[in-house]
Amino acid sequence: MKIIKIKEINKFENKLVRINGWVYNSRRSGKIGFLTVRDGFGLIQCVVVKDDIGDESFESFKRLTQESSITVIGKVVKNDRAIGKYGILVDSYELHHLSQDYPITPKEHGTEYLMANRHLWLRSKRQHAILRVRHEIVKSIRDFFDMNDFTLVDTPIFTPNAAEGTSTLFRTEYFGKEAFLAQTGQLYGEASAMAFGRHYNFGPCFRAEKSKTRRHLTEFWMVEPEIAYCDIEEDMMWAENLLIYIVQQVIKNKSNELNILERDIDVLKKVAGPFPRVSYTDCIEILNKADFNIKWGEDFGSPEETYIANQYDSPVIVHRFPSKIKAFYMKRDPENEKVVLGMDILAPEGYGEIVGGSERETNIDILIDRIDEEKLNKSDYDWFLDLRRYGSVPHSGFGMGLERVVAWICGLSHIRETIPFARTMSRLNP
């Protein structure tokens, strides 16, 4: 007899099968019982009839608890009343472990409680769906870069320097020296782009900012392509095409999960491109028309960002920011020295910045000036400056925050559900 996955149940109509899983829910009505079983691949309703399995088995069935691990043996039958349109008429079952007092009941719980039980919450339908969408997004990111001849080159997590000098870094001890957990792999990505032409790195980043909002994690995953012989316009195109590809793949392959999450797929279908491109200077004008009272040169706050994003159905690309509010490595616009060739992509529906990128400064003298201006330690960047000494070329790249993309595509109100084990200011466990 075959052990099958619930997701392939429709291939086994009227066959006897085995399913390895866990009790999702159990209820009964006299001499007939209904056991919803999950196996990690899906849910199925198993019908337990006293007269079929015998008094003794039925008595022990009545004692089955939520999340007990069992193997169910029975016949697959079509059943319109059941979830998934198929059910199993139980012949017998084997109990592996009887779960006692499972903390997550089918009733409501607070988020704090659920986060404290995150290791168990992962079994719930919604959390399962979110992480499967995350999986699809990760896969489509890797496929996209693979199809376009990018090479994955992993960048280190221990670093000696502060790449952007602005964000707070986690400090650690490294054989008697000070080291930091990487907040970006970008500088290493630039080295790799000079070796491979098209590079990307994808891994965890760490930021010790004391941010307590629904958009922040202290540990999150970022994908960062870096492309040689690429200007800012091409950079925007890569980011746009990546986002469109991700959304298409999720709609195509994870529609069940989006339904479980009650995500409006029509909203996602509007993400077709080309995305609107608005300069920072134009944004200032738009914002002041809406009574925001922001001066040229000031950085956008969260309300400003949300207002700009809400003007459009699809993500919007904001570009050419004042150089003073952006990182030292961004190239200045030859047509306007006051701005840099940087761009941010803002997701619709208030999900905020999901991409940040730029064309990189190639002139070593300007870079050294900028490093001094930011009061960074020049010796830490000597290897980075080498990239401008030996065959410097125009190049660009961007970083995309995985969890914010997951939150946006799933339509979630909080980023902590987008990663299996969230790390926030107040949570290091489980």
Q: Whole-number minimum distance, CB 29 to RNA, in Å?
A: 4
Q: Whole-number minimum distance, CB 200 to RNA, in Å?
A: 14
Task: Give 89's contacts (C-beta < 8 A, 6+ positions apart).
Answer: 46, 47, 49, 52, 74, 75, 77
Q: Whole-number minimum distance, CB 273 to RNA, in Å?
A: 18
| C-alpha span between 108 and 124 (Å, rounded) | 12
Cis status, amide bond into 394, omega within 30 of 0:
no
List, edge to edge, every strand of the sheet that includes 198-206: 151-152, 198-206, 219-228, 395-401, 352-359, 342-347, 316-319, 277-279
Task: State both tokens at 96.
Answer: 């592996």
DSSP string of 345-363, one letter each residue? EEETTTTEEEEEEEEBP--
Of residues 197 and 276, the one with the C-beta less far from RNA? 276
Q: Whole-number minimum distance, CB 30 to RNA, in Å?
A: 2
H-helix or E-strand spanning residue 2: strand 2-3
| C-alpha span between 202 and 335 (Å, rounded) | 33
Of residues 30 and 176, the one with the C-beta less far from RNA? 30
Tokens 């902590």 label which residue?
Answer: 416
Of residues 99 and 172, the one with the C-beta less far from RNA? 99
Q: Whole-number minimum distance, CB 386 to RNA, in Å?
A: 24
Of residues 269 and 414, the one with the C-beta less far from RNA? 414
Q: CA-based Rg of the chain, rounded to a whole angstrom?
A: 26
Of residues 205 and 390, the one with the C-beta less far from RNA? 205
One-letter amino acid of 78: K
Bridge partners of 29?
32
Bridge partners of 272?
none
Q: Whole-number minimum distance, CB 264 to RNA, in Å?
A: 21
Q: Whole-number minimum distance, CB 12 to RNA, in Å?
A: 18
| C-alpha span between 377 and 130 (Å, rounded) | 42
Cα separation values, 218 from 178, 302, 403, 417, 420, Å: 20, 19, 12, 14, 14
Q: E strands within 139-271? A: 151-152, 158-159, 171-174, 177-181, 198-206, 219-228
Of residues 13 and 382, the one with the C-beta less far from RNA? 13
Of residues 246 and 355, the one with the C-beta less far from RNA? 355
Of residues 195 and 425, the one with the C-beta less far from RNA? 425
Q: Whole-number minimum distance, CB 176 to RNA, in Å?
A: 28
Of residues 163 and 227, the one with the C-beta less far from RNA? 163
Of residues 15 and 63, the one with the C-beta less far from RNA? 63
| C-alpha span between 1 and 14 (Å, rounded) | 13
Q: Whole-number minimum distance, CB 391 to RNA, in Å?
A: 27
Q: Whole-number minimum distance, CB 50 to RNA, in Å?
A: 6
Task: Give 34's contacts (C-beta < 8 A, 6+ positions apart).
Answer: 25, 26, 27, 28, 45, 46, 47, 48
Q: Whole-number minimum distance, CB 330 to RNA, in Å?
A: 11
Of residues 101 and 335, the one with the C-beta less far from RNA? 101
One-letter amino acid of 393: V
Cis status, amide bond into 103, omega within 30 of 0:
no
Task: State both tokens at 46.
Answer: 């198993």
